[in-house]
Structure 1
């Protein structure tokens, strides 16, 4: 399995840090979030090749990776400095950079700091035969929720809990056979199956797009996309604001 770490985001909610540095290099208990992510994927996930996309202060991340041979040996950079492509466009742009373009790719937001069992998720992905497996949490509140079938955890829809919007329009969240969960920023994709769909989606929607609306579209095209809830409890934080960064630092102090 290979990986892609999404590190291109501008991080507007994390100002003033992101006025001069990329969000991915924000320190969590003294260790940059990007470094934590890469080292965990390597050490706990056994992943020895990763693609990291860059846009906001890209040279800062270039220098950071180049300064550590243990990171530069396993990381290739996908340069989006000219145009921020979002997660879907970013994955499509980097699709040819993987050693095994038809193999499983773990996607991880750089601003997510967590310690869930990567091996368990990989086993579940392999056993399920899914095209995409999403790390989700039914107990975490979010304004945007994903909805899954109670029986096989297949993705059925999306809702905005504040506005009441749902996608697709035909989806009915009142259906008793579905459950809702927040997406936790980690997925595994079968790139051999998903890449052709990404190209088709980009042809009609343009090069800049998020994976969430793409996934909802892909389900309609026959993609098998499922939610995954780890058996054991785990720590999880996004570091999108100064307050959330402080909470992650407090939780992960003394750990790596």
Structure 2
């Protein structure tokens, strides 16, 4: 299975580090986030990667070259002309991913100990084109799921704004973990082009398709701010 690692973002919340470096190379206990996630995925037998780059992308490419790609096959989806966000980045990398087999997507700034084998097995058992890893943790935005863990909405916890596929029948609010398992059938369902968030597509597609959530209790830290680096260092040695 291939994995797409989103590493293109500007990481503005991690300033001043990201004034001169990509967030994917931010250190947690002396090891760059990108290296940690490559090794994490390798632990589940994944050795074939696509990495999208934009902000200080050359630093990421040079870092991987200097480390002999950590023994993996790595292809780059270079968004040097425009940062395309998650949805646009996925579509831009289509030629590297639309190969008839499921693939994983993971944000470079997420650290987790999620059991990917169980996640992938769940996804393939549902035969979905998209399964989202989610957990019950504090977040300003939540995805809403029915009793069958099918995506039915989105909630802004702070403002109360909702986007629903149907009347809210006590849907379960869960936070997205930044990890998806995808079947390439999704490429024929995405309507947007250019720069856009993949979540916008999911929230449109939930009206006509089944997108499942996979609830887990694993550690998950979004290493997006300096204080979250300190939190990550307590868990990920």
Both proteins in one fold, TM over 0.5: yes
Aligned to 1:136: 134
Q: Does 1:227 align with 2:223?
A: no
Q: Determine the C-alpha separation between the residues in 1 that align with 2:109 and 2:66.
A: 21
Q: Which runs of 5+ in 1 are unaligned?
A: none
Aligned to 1:247: 231
Q: Determine the C-alpha separation between the residues in 2 that align with 1:224 and 1:64.
A: 39
1:65/1:72 contact within 8 Å kept = no
Matched residue SS, 1:78? strand
Q: Which runs of 5+ in 2 are unaligned?
A: none
Matched residue SS, 2:205? helix
Q: Figure out how many residues of one structure are paired with residues of the other and give that number.
A: 237
2:133/2:176 contact within 8 Å kept = yes
Give the Å deviation of 1:223: 2.5
CA deviation profile, 1:72-113 (whole Å, cap 9, x unmatched): 741111001110000010001001113x62211100000000
Aligned to 2:60: 61
Q: 2:189 aligns with which of 180, 194, 197?
A: 197
Does the C-alpha gap of structure 1 residues 185 and 194 become closer, same or farther in structure 2, counting only changes over 3 Å? same
| Structure 1 residue runs of 4 or more that deviate by more than 2 Å after TM superposition | 70-73, 170-173
Give the Å deviation of 1:131: 1.6
Aligned to 2:75: 76
Q: Determine the C-alpha separation between the residues in 2 that align with 1:111 and 1:24.
A: 6
Q: TM-score, normalised by structure 1?
A: 0.88
Matched residue SS, 1:90? helix
Matched residue SS, 1:88? helix
Give the Å deviation of 1:128: 1.5
Aligned to 2:153: 157
Matched residue SS, 2:46? coil
CA deviation profile, 1:155-194 (whole Å, cap 9, x unmatched): 00001111111114x6433x13x21100011010111x10
Q: TM-score, normalised by structure 2?
A: 0.95
Q: Determine the C-alpha separation between the residues in 1 that align with 2:72 and 2:152.
A: 40
Q: Determine the C-alpha separation between the residues in 1 that align with 2:215 and 2:63.
A: 33
2:88/2:194 contact within 8 Å kept = yes
2:49/2:72 contact within 8 Å kept = no
Q: Determine the C-alpha separation between the residues in 2 that align with 1:71 and 1:93.
A: 25
Q: 1:119 aligns with which of 117, 120, 124?
A: 117
Q: Determine the C-alpha separation between the residues in 1 that align with 2:199 and 2:37.
A: 22
